[in-house]
Structure 1
Amino acid sequence: MNVTYFSDTDTMYLELGTKEPVETKEIADNLYIDFDNEGRIVALTIEHAKGSGVATDFSYQLVGSEGPAESDNKKTA
């Protein structure tokens, strides 16, 4: 997974895989989901991410990897 934040447009883009999106659907105000040719979700786009509180502070937890059993990471946009 790859997360990109575009500060100039206040947009957060979450890539969930390597497949190319072929269709995008708006599922809520400022929230878009990209689908591949098999209908699987491949990306999410959140517009006005900081303005809605999404990109101000986020964290993730990695569980069951070859590295440490648990790893908490915090990022501030």
Structure 2
Amino acid sequence: MKIRYFQDTDTLYIELRPALVSETRDLDEDTVIDLDERGAICAMTIEHASERADIPTFSYEQIAA
């Protein structure tokens, strides 16, 4: 997974896994998801991210099964 924040455009891009995008869908005015050929989500783009998420306090934790 890759998470990128573009400060100049206030855009958050979350790539869940590398894949060829076969379809892009608008979830709302500022959120787009990319789907692979099977219809599975492979990425998400969020515009105006600083207004919609707490960008400076991002954390990640992997929980053992």
- TM-score normalized by the length of structure 1: 0.74
Q: Secondary structure at the match of 2:49?
A: coil
Deviating beyond 6 angstroms after TM superposition, the runs of 4 or more aligned structure 1 residues are none
Normalising by structure 2, we get a TM-score of 0.86
**Stretch deviating more after TM superposition (56-65 or 13-22):** 56-65
More helix as a share of residues: 2
Aligned length: 65
Does the alignment pair 1:17 with 2:17?
A: yes
CA RMSD of aligned residues (A): 1.6
Q: Secondary structure at the match of 2:44?
A: strand
Gaps of 5+ in 2: none
Superposed CA offset, 1:8-66 (max 9, x none): 1000000011112121111122111100011010001000101223424222211128x
More strand by share: 1
Gaps in structure 1 of 5+ consecutive residues: 66-77
